[in-house]
Structure 1
Amino acid sequence: MRTFVRGLTEAVRIVVSAPKNLVGLDRYALQDYFASLGEKAFHARQLLQWVYQRGVTDFSEMTDLRLSLRQTLSANAVIALPEVSRAQHSQDGTRKWLLCLPDGNSIETVFIPEEDRGTLCISSQAGCMLTCSFCATARQGFSRNLSAGEIIGQLLLADRLLKQEGWGERPISNVVMMGMGEPLLNYDAVVSAMRLMLDDLSFGLSRRRVTLSTAGVVPAMDKLSEDCPVSLAVSLHAVRDAVRDELVPLNRKYPIDALLEACRRFLRNDSRRRITFEYVMLSGVNDSEEDAQTLVSLLRGIPSKINLIPFNPVPGVKYLCSDPDAIHRFRQRLISSGLTTITRKTRGADIAAACGQLAGAVQDRTHRSAKLAKTVS
C-alpha cells in the first residue's frame, strides 16, 4: 500500500511540475499567469512582444525581464511550437508543412506567396468533424480539436521558417482559417487564436486580413459576428439543397436559406464588409447555366465576392473538375449580373496543397477513413 501511495504521489508531482506552454494565451490569460507567480501584469505585454513580434522563444533572451523572472519562467513554462515532420516546396512557390503534434496527430499548414501578399492557410482540427464528399480532409476522419496554442503556433512557426528562408521581416500578411477542420466547430480555441492574430501586441493583423471559412455552422456564425468579426468565407458549392446535402452534409441541418439568412445577419454590424462565397466547380454537378442563374438570385442583396474553385483531384473521390469553358461561361454569367467573381488560381497542386487536398495524418476516432477504404477497395 505504501509503495502504491508513494508512486501515486510521484505521478501527481510530475503532473503539477509539467511546464506550462504559454503559446496561445492572450494578454489577459498571461496577466493571470504572471499574477499566479506573484508578478505584475505588465510582464504579459513584454512576453507577447518577445514571442509574437520578435519571434523569441527562449526566456533567457528576453532581456527586459529581470534575471530572476527569466529563471522562474524557464523552470515553469515553455514556448512550444509544433514540430515540422515534412516540408514541401511547390514549383509555384507554395510551401506546405506537415506538423507533428505531441499526441501523434499531424496537421498541414500551407503558405501561398503572391506579388502583393503572403497568405498562410491554417488548420483548426486534426481531421474534420464534417464529411464533405469532395474533400481529402474529410476522408481522414476526425481525432480532436486543436488548442489555441496549436492554431496560433502554426503562424508562429511559419513566420520563423519563412524569415529563415529570406522572405523578409513580414512574410505573412494574411491568414485564412481554411486548412484541416471546420473552424466554427472548434469555436473557443479558434476565436482565442484569431484574437492573438489581431492583437497589436502580437501579430497585429487587421480584421480584413484574417478570414475564417465555414461550411455553414449557423449558430456559431451569429456568435462570431459579435465576438470576433473577421472576414467571413462561406463554402456554398451548390444552389439546391438536394445537391448541397450530398456535397456538404451539414446542409441537412442548416439548409441554404438558413445559411444565407445568417450571412445577412453577419453583415448587419458593418455595412462595409462583404462575404466571400466559395464554389467548387464540379462537372455535371453544379456548373450549369441554370445553376449560375440560381446563384445570382440567391445572392441578391448580399454584399459578396464569389470564388470559383476548379476542383482539385482527391484519391477515391468520384467528382471531376468542370472543363475550362464551362467555368468561363459560369463566371461570365455571374459577372454580367453584377456579381464580383474570380476563378481561383490553383496553387500547390503538385504537392497536394491545393484547396480540398489537405490531409495530414490523423488518429481517426470516427473510423471513417477505414470505412471509406473498404468502400473503395
Structure 2
Amino acid sequence: MGQRSSKRLNGLFLLTIIIGFGCFLFSHVSMQKALKAERRGTLGMLVEQADLPEAQVMAAANQKITQQDAQKGAELEARYGLTTRTQRQQKITQRYFIWNLVIGGGGTILLSAFFIWNQSENRKQVRKIVAEMEQKQSEKATSELLLQRVRNEGNELKSSVTDIAHQLRTPVASLKMSMDIALSDKYSDQERSEFGHQAEIQIHKLNLMLDGLIKLSQLETDLIRLQPQPTSLKAVITDAVNSLIMKAIEKEIEIEVETFEDRLILIDQKWTLEAISNVLENAVKYSPAGTTIQLRISTLVTYVLLEILDQGPGIPSQEQTKIYQRFYRGANSEAVEGSGVGLYLTRSIIEGQGGAIMVKNLKPHGSNFQLTLPLA
C-alpha cells in the first residue's frame, strides 16, 4: 500500500513538471509568433506608407545593427518619437511575462503543495509502519507472556498434583491403618474404639481437604458467581466468630472483637463469610494456646477495613506474597494441618468484590491480616 502511494505521488509530481514545462514552451512559442507578426506588420507599413522599395526595406531589416545605427535610431526616436511600436512590443512582452509569471508561480505553488503532501504522506506511512512494528512487538511480548504463564501454570499444576497426592496420602494411610485395627479381632475393644475414633478424625480431615478443593474448582471454573448485596457488617463478623469459637475454646484462645458501629457493606454474604472464616481459622491454628485474637473494624471513605491480629509466629517477608497461591504451604505450616487453599480462596473472593487483602507482621511476633470491603 505504501509503495503504490509513493509511486502515485511521484507520478503526479512528474506530471506537474511536464505540464509546467509545456506551458512555458507554449508561452515562448506564442510570444515569438506575436513578435514575428508585429515585425512583419512594421515592415509592411514601411513599404506602403513610406513608399520605399521592398528590396531596400528588407535589406535594411536584414542588415546587422551597428552601434552607429543604434545611436542614430535613438536620435530619431528622441526627435520625432516612436512610441506606437515601442508600446506594441512592451504589451506583447508584458503580456507573456505575466503569463509566464502566473505559470511559474502556479507551478511552484502546485509543486510545493505536492511536496508538502508527499512529506505528509511519508510521515503517515512512517507512523503507520512504526505503529505496526510497535503492535507486533506488543503482540510478541503478550504472546511470550502468555506462553510463560502457561508454562508456569503447567509447572504449578504438576507441583500442585504432587502436593495434593502427598497431602492425601498421609490421612488415607492413617485411615487405612485405623480401619484395619478397628475391624480386627486381634485388639481389645478399647483399642479398636480408639482407632475407630482416629478413623473418624482422618475422614474429617479428608472431607475438609476435598471441600476446599471443590470450592477452588468451582471458583476457578466460574461455577461460583459472587452476587454482592447490601449486608450488615456486624452480622457477617458475628457469624464468622461463631463458626470458629469452639476451635478457639479448645485451644484456650480468646477472640476479642472491638466495639464498632454497624455499617452496610456491598458483599456476597455467604462467600465473604467463607473468606473471613478462612483467615480466622488460620489465626486459631497458628496461635499458641492461651493467646488472644483481635478483630478491629475501621470505616474509611468508601471501604470498611477489617483487621485480624493474632499472636502466632508471623509470616516471613519472603512468603507474604506467596501465601495466596494455590496449595502454597509456608515454612511454619508443617506442624499445622491444611491444604493451602484457604487464603487463595479468600483473596479471590475479596478481590472479586472490589476489596483487597494484605498481611503485616507484628512485633515481637504475630500477624495482622487486613481486609477491605466496599461500603454499600
Give the alignment's TM-score, normalised by structure 2: 0.23
Higher strand share goes to which structure? 1
Could you say which structure has the larger radius of gyration?
2
Q: Which has the higher contact order (CA 8 A, sep 6+)?
A: 1
